[in-house]
Amino acid sequence: MRHDFLRASVAIFVATTLSAILPESLKSQEAPVDWRQFRGPTGQGQSTETELPDEWSPSKNILWKVDLPGAGSSSPIVVGQRVFFTCYTGFGVPGQSGSMNQLKYHLICKSTKDGSSLFDRAIEPHLPEVDATREDHGYASSTPASDGEDKFIYTFFGKTGLSAFDRTYEERWHSDLGLGTHQWGSGASLVLTKELVIVNASVESGCIFGFDKKSGKRKWKITGIEKSWSTPLVVDVGDDRQELVVAVRGRVFGFDLANGVELWRCSTDIKYDKATSYFVPSLVAKDGIVYAIAGERSGGGLAVRAGGKGDVTKTHRLWTTLKGSNVSSPVLHEGYLYWMHEDLAIAYCAEAKSGKILYEQRIKGVGQVYASPVVADGKLFFITRSGRCVVLAAKPKYELIAINAFCELNRKNSEVFNASPALAGGRLFVRSDQSLYCVGKK
């Protein structure tokens, strides 16, 4: 007993001493960075992961693959040694029959080690739902979020509402957000701050809500959120202030994060057949400047400086472009914006300070791109709906590194990949509507 006590004391002393003398840069490398919400720690698809593989195939660098109990296009998240995602069963699953009264939603947890099942929490839907969703987007499109391994995990299933589950996966609180539906389903994912869980319920009620993470008490409600499937973004604007920025049809808004009060608005001038375009891609930001792309066909984009008051279109809008994407979001890296057109598979790179297009390269034979890209270790990863991953060098000169396949590319394979990847522990976690994949160096 005495020896055990002494060993424990020494271990604590060593750990404490090392923590005191290590520089902050090394301290941050001691523990892996979780991917707890849509598009990761920053909400912008940026990762500090290294040693990710450049190339993989069904027989190379796919560490494991597991079948899923149901369909869905929500992205996975990673918390410690667990990977979470949502899906639905019983109705509207491509290739399966069923009636609406059999519809069930699921919060699923798998082990990051081998994909083994840890739990499956069934959630009763609020019926009726839409009879079908366009292009099989389905009923589980919003990515869950977690504030840590021993705290809550949050889910959003459209008109079924927002729920918080504790570490035993029991529902701690629930809130209805409206009963509206759409043929495209819901798409916006959850955003967590230190105190709030934020959800864009444009489809359900035309509102954005901010709830206390612990109690579920509604802190504020923003109305007038029209035609928006975009996940909001928390933006630092200096002086320890943050704004909540969201894009809707025709405008980008900035709100006070504390109370939901509108601070500023900026016109996008992104149009389709002379009409103002709805908004799907999520925003990115750096140094108080917000970047947005959107729009059908060629689309468009803009940059606007946050921190303004009132209509800032003439004073804070820095540039616009006629190039964009209707589904996939951009990623920002070292002063450059990267994105891919959802139908044409054209990869773009633009200078962030000017909006100048530096390259515009069509990638043949990969199909549509709905997932949002991630950037890590000097590489860009674009997942296509057909189950390929285009890997490009994250630099302002086009360089194709690889085109990888998750599954055999033949007519018999019907997997569809709409979800964005999660990066953690030197691995990529990617889900289709049928399978969950773990990619890493063998």
Asked whether residue 240 carries a pLDDT value surpassing 50, the answer given is yes
Beta bridge partners of 267: 251
- Checking DSSP bridges between strand 289-294 and strand 400-405, what pairing results, if any? unpaired
Which pLDDT belongs to residue 411?
62
CB 111 within 8 A of CB 436: no
Two structure tokens written together for 311? 């209509």
Residue-averaged pLDDT of the chain? 91
Q: In which element (H, E) is residue 292 found?
A: strand 289-294
Q: In which element (H, E) is residue 6 found?
A: helix 2-21
| Residue whose token pair is 């955003």 | 191
CB 350 within 8 A of CB 357: yes
What's the average model confidence in pLDDT over 81-89?
97
Q: Per-residue confidence at 262, pLDDT binned at 50, 70, 90? A: very high
Cα maximum dimension of the chain: 80
DSSP letter for each residue of 305-364: ESS--EE-HHHHEEEEES---SSSPPEEETTEEEEE-TTT-EEEEEETTT--EEEEEE-T
Which pLDDT belongs to residue 408?
82
Burial category of 275 from C-beta neighbours within 10 Å (exposed 0-12, middle 13-18, buried 19 and up): exposed
Which pLDDT belongs to residue 132?
82
What's the average model confidence in pLDDT over 220-232?
96
Q: Per-domain residue ranges for the chain?
A: 32-439
How many helices, marked H, and strands, marked E, lie in the chain?
4, 35
Asked whether residue 21 carries a pLDDT value surpassing 80, the answer given is no
What's the average model confidence in pLDDT over 269-280?
82
Q: Per-residue confidence at 20, pLDDT binned at 50, 70, 90? A: very low
Evaluated on CA atoms 83, 84, 86, 89, the torsion sign reads positive
Distance of alpha carbon 85 from alpha carbon 109, whole angstroms: 7
User: Per-residue pLDDT tens for 179-194?
Assistant: 999 988 888 999 999 9
CA 138 to mean position of chain CA atoms: 17
Burial category of 78 from C-beta neighbours within 10 Å (exposed 0-12, middle 13-18, buried 19 and up): buried
User: Per-residue pLDDT tens for 289-337?
Assistant: 999 999 988 899 999 999 999 999 999 999 999 999 999 999 999 999 9
Asked whether residue 12 carries a pLDDT value surpassing 70, the answer given is no
CATH code: domain 32-439 is 2.130.10.10
Asked whether residue 39 carries a pLDDT value surpassing 70, the answer given is yes
What's the average model confidence in pLDDT over 70-96?
95
CB 388 within 8 A of CB 344: no
In terms of residues, how long is the chain? 442
Q: Per-residue confidence at 6, pLDDT binned at 50, 70, 90? A: very low
Distance of alpha carbon 34 from alpha carbon 277, whole angstroms: 35
